Each structure stands twice: as C-alpha cells, then as structure tokens.
C-alpha cells in the first residue's frame, strides 16, 4: 500500500518498526531515521529477511527543518511517524507541511528548554488563562489546524496508549454505550517489575517531567490543580491486583474536555510503587529533575539530562520486566434514561511483549497504537484534513485493529468506581 518514514529509534520506535513489518500489506516500505543511525541499522539487520517490508535507514536531526525536508523529498513517504521526542513535534509538523505529507505522533509538544523567554511568556499566560501548569499542552499543535486544512493534510496527535487508545475508548463509549457520558476516570496501572530500584519505562526526561508536575483534573468546565501526588487512591486491577495510584495531569484530559459533550469530570490516575516515589522525591529535592543548566567544571549540564544518562535505557528493560499492565477508562453516565457505568481496558503482559517484539509492555502498548494510527491514515479509514486527536475519528476501525494487532480490550459493565 505505501511508505512510512519513522523518526526516532528508541524503545517505542522499536515496537512500531516490528509492528509495521508484521503489517507489510499496509507498510510495504519503511525508512527508519534517527539521530544515531547505528541503532536504525541494527534493527534493520535484525528484521531484514523476516518480513516483506523493505527497510531503509538514515541519519536525521529532527530539530533541523532543512535536513528533515531533504529526507522527506528524497524518500517521498505517505506518512511521517514522529516516534522521537515531544521536543521535535513542531519541527516535524513544519516539515510535513512544507513537503505535503501526513503527520502523526504519540505525545504533545513540549519545549526542551523551559527557560526560553519567548516560550515562557506564552506558557505563563496559558497557566493563568487555563489553570494548569504542566509544561505540555495542545495549544502549540492545535495552532497548526488551519495550515493542515489548507494543505489538505492530516495530523493525528497522540496515537499511543495514553494519550491514544484511551481516547478511542472514550469515542467508542460515546458512540455505542452512552447517550451522555458524565465522568471519565483514566486508570494507568503498570504492575510490572524490572528489578531495578529506580528506572522509568519510557524516556526518563519526559517521564519525570510529567510525574513530578502538579496534578490536575477537569471538573464542571474548568481545571482544578493540586500539588503533585497529593490525591491517592487504591484500586484492585484485573489480573494485577491492588495498587496505589495517584492523580496526575495528562494531555488527553485537555482534548476530551473539548470533544466529549457535556462531560462533567475527567481524571487521570497512574500507579506508582513506594520505591519509585521515594527515589523521585529525593532526586527532586537535590535538584536532579531540574531542566535549568548548571555550570559543572567548565561545562553546562542540564541536571535531568545527566540523570537520564545514569538511568537504565528503557529500551533495555524488556528482558528483565515481568508482570502486567492494565490501562483503561471507567465511565459513568446515562443510556436510555438510566444511570450506567462501563470500564473499557486492556491487560498486557510484559514477558509476552518481549517474546513477540523484544520490548517491555510500556513500549508495546505505545508502539502498537502508533502503527494503527498510521495505518488508519494510510488506508484512508481516517481521512480529513486538519489537526486531530484520536477521539475525533470513528473509533470502530481503530478498536477492531487493537484486537487484531495485540492489544485486545474488554468491557466490564459493573466496575468498582473510584471515589
């Protein structure tokens, strides 16, 4: 059917690449392009001969618009899959517009340098107007809507698990299960154990920024912000068991608040073990999570980037991780005039992911929906010009593809609710 340019070759991209190669009818050719070309070559070498998909590799700095455009013009892909970092979102969107090609990613834009005065002024205005202080928000990418519409191109934002699949669950609930959704609780449980006292399951810099930020939720038309980790609940997750979970700010709350009509409250909870929280608090207290450069023996060092260099690479956690993830959405609302609840969720096994594609379940649960999102655009199942999040499209083909490509979901009509 076509060609995809995959940018990035880290933990999540490894899964995307395997999944595209399993789906050669759609992904006839892929190009893997990243900063470190040797990583792209290593995965090509592993997969060549096991798949009909033709694989090429390239070196690219996705912060450099000219380099990106030269690569896109030469390869002529049908879609650019941004599986690098949120820092690159805007540059890659610019390149797609310039070269006339569809775009997708798995996380919304945030700047690498949060001290940049130009960015900071806009950020501080947004904090005041919107009422949440996370470094990431959709405004930067939504600002591209008109440009993509005019160019007749589609940008699909956040097609990972959360964001991504969680929004497909919401669109599915809205379409098939409810006349009115009143509340949504997104629960992200990782019951996996990698045996390290402290490691992150995806890019440490992005992960620790997200988790150490104040939490917030949407209620009755506005944001409520709370100190980080100050709302804790315990939940008994199917196939995982009892876990402590904490309310976090998360990007899909922002788009769901706009796209699920009449929703009164949206919250996001993630599970953390005590060891993770103790390490994170200590690192935060000593300044290791800071994004502001410090001078060290004549060098400028960004503490969180230095910490990333010390922590295990998430792409190497696969062989060590055992246990399961359970991620889903609990809905309350009304159907045919009666109160109704539903819980749509997926359970994913770390070891099974490793056997299939050599990765742990966090990369797997992100990489599979990234492949599916790209497939939706490449096959024309999702086809409208502009900038969209997952819940703005018909959920049915996406939900069907989740069952087919490794992330089957189930519905519990009588879940325990979170108070």
Q: What is the 3-state secondary structure (H, E, C) of 234-255?
A: EEEECCCEEEEEEECCCHHHHH
Instruction: Report the residue from 77, 192, 215, 314 that binds ligand NDP according to the rule CB under 6 A.
Output: 314
- Is residue 315 within the footprint of ligand NDP (CB under 6 A)? yes
CA pair distance 169, 375, nearest whole angstrom: 18
**Smallest gap from residue 389 Cβ to ligand NDP (A):** 11
For ligand NDP, the closer of residues 61 and 225 by Cβ is 61
- Is residue 373 within the footprint of ligand NDP (CB under 6 A)? no
Within positions 252 to 271, which residues make up the interface with ligand NDP, using CB under 6 A?
Answer: none
Within positions 7 to 36, which residues make up the interface with ligand NDP, using CB under 6 A?
Answer: 7-13, 34-36
DSSP state of 174: I
Could you tell me which residues come within 8 angstroms of residue 344 by beta carbon, excluding any fewer than 6 positions away?
169, 172, 173, 328, 329, 331, 409, 410, 411
Report the candidate in 275, 276, 218, 282 with the shortest Cα–Cα distance to residue 251: 218
Stretch that binds ligand NDP, among 122-130, 198-206, 289-297, 374-382 (CB under 6 A): 198-206
For ligand NDP, the closer of residues 104 and 177 by Cβ is 104
ω into residue 407 within 30 of 0, thus cis?
no
- Is residue 162 within the footprint of ligand NDP (CB under 6 A)? yes
Within positions 98 to 127, which residues make up the interface with ligand NDP, using CB under 6 A?
Answer: 106-107
**Smallest gap from residue 41 Cβ to ligand NDP (A):** 12
Instruction: Report the residue from 3, 19, 39, 249 that binds ligand NDP according to the rule CB under 6 A.
Output: 39
CA pair distance 298, 281, nearest whole angstrom: 28
- Is residue 57 within the footprint of ligand NDP (CB under 6 A)? no
Burial class (CB in 10 A: 0-12, 13-18, 19+), 380: exposed
Contact yes or no for 344/403 (Cβ under 8 A): no
- Is residue 360 within the footprint of ligand NDP (CB under 6 A)? no
Whole-number Cα distances in Å, 62 to 81, 139, 324:
12, 21, 33
For ligand NDP, the closer of residues 321 and 341 by Cβ is 321
How many other CB atoms are there within 10 angstroms of residue 112's CB atom? 15
Instruction: Report the residue from 366, 371, 390, 402 that binds ligand NDP according to the rule CB under 6 A.
Output: 366
**Smallest gap from residue 179 Cβ to ligand NDP (A):** 29
Instruction: Report the residue from 6, 30, 85, 374 that binds ligand NDP according to the rule CB under 6 A.
Output: 85
**Smallest gap from residue 223 Cβ to ligand NDP (A):** 21
Report the candidate in 405, 133, 397, 106 with the shortest Cα–Cα distance to residue 252: 106
Instruction: Report the residue from 57, 203, 321, 389 that binds ligand NDP according to the rule CB under 6 A.
Output: 203
- Is residue 398 within the footprint of ligand NDP (CB under 6 A)? no
Burial class (CB in 10 A: 0-12, 13-18, 19+), 150: exposed
The count of residues interacting with ligand NDP (CB under 6 A) is 34
For ligand NDP, the closer of residues 59 and 149 by Cβ is 59
| Degrees to nearest 5, angle at CA 226 with 86 and 123 | 40
Instruction: Report the residue from 160, 303, 318, 406 that binds ligand NDP according to the rule CB under 6 A.
Output: 160
Stretch that binds ligand NDP, among 57-65, 253-261, 288-296, 385-393 (CB under 6 A): 57-65
Closest chain position to ligand NDP (CB): 10
| Degrees to nearest 5, angle at CA 176 with 173 and 177 | 60
HSE toward the beta carbon, residue 61, CA cutoff 13 A? 5
- Is residue 62 within the footprint of ligand NDP (CB under 6 A)? yes
Stretch that binds ligand NDP, among 55-63, 189-197, 253-261, 283-291 (CB under 6 A): 55-63
- Is residue 161 within the footprint of ligand NDP (CB under 6 A)? yes
Could you tell me which residues come within 8 angstroms of residue 369 by beta carbon, excluding any fewer than 6 positions away?
106, 159, 160, 161, 164, 165, 168, 398, 402, 407
- Is residue 154 within the footprint of ligand NDP (CB under 6 A)? no
Whole-number Cα distances in Å, 170 to 39, 174, 188, 236, 375:
36, 6, 15, 22, 20
- Residues engaged in binding ligand NDP (CB under 6 A): 7-13, 34-36, 39, 60-63, 83-86, 88, 106-107, 158, 160-164, 202-203, 206, 314-315, 366
């Amino acid at each position: 059917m076509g060609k995809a340019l995959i940018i990035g070759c880290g933990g999540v991209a490894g899964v995307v690449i395997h999944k595209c190669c399993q789906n050669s009818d759609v992904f006839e050719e892929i190009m893997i392009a990243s900063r470190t070309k040797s990583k792209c070559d290593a995965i090509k070498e592993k997969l060549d001969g096991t798949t009909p998909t033709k694989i090429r590799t390239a070196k690219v700095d996705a912060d450099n618009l000219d380099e990106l455009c030269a690569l896109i013009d030469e390869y002529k892909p049908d879609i650019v899959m941004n599986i690098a970092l949120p820092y690159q979102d805007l540059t890659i969107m610019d390149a797609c517009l310039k070269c006339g090609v569809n775009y997708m990613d798995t996380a919304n834009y945030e700047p690498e340098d949060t001290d940049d005065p130009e960015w900071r002024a806009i950020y501080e205005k947004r904090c005041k107007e919107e009422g949440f202080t996370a470094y990431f928000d959709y405004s930067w990418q939504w600002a591209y809507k008109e440009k993509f519409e005019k160019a007749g191109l589609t940008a699909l934002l956040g097609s990972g698990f959360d964001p991504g699949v969680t929004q497909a669950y919401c669109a599915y609930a809205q379409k098939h299960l409810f006349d009115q959704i009143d509340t949504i609780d997104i629960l992200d449980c990782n019951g996996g154990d990698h045996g390290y006292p402290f490691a992150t399951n995806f890019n440490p810099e992005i992960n620790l920024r997200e988790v150490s930020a104040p939490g917030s939720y949407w209620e009755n038309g506005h944001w409520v912000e709370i100190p980080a980790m100050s709302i804790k609940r315990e939940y008994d997750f199917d196939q995982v068991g009892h876990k402590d979970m904490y309310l976090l700010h998360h990007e899909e709350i922002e788009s769901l608040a706009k796209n699920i009509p009449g929703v009164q409250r949206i919250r996001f909870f993630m599970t953390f073990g005590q060891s993770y929280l103790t390490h994170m608090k200590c690192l935060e207290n000593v300044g290791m999570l800071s994004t502001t450069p410090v001078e060290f023996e004549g060098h400028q060092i960004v503490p969180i980037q230095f910490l990333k260099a010390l922590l295990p690479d998430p792409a190497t956690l696969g062989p060590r991780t055992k246990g399961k993830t359970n991620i889903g959405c609990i809905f309350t609302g009304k159907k045919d005039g009666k109160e109704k609840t539903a819980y749509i969720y997926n359970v994913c096994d770390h070891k099974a992911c490793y056997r299939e594609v050599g990765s742990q379940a966090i990369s797997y649960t992100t990489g599979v929906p990234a492949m599916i999102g790209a497939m939706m655009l490449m096959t024309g199942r999702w086809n409208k010009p502009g900038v969209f999040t997952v819940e703005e499209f018909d959920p049915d083909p996406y939900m069907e593809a989740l069952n087919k490509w490794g992330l089957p979901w189930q519905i519990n009509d009588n879940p325990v609710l979170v108070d």
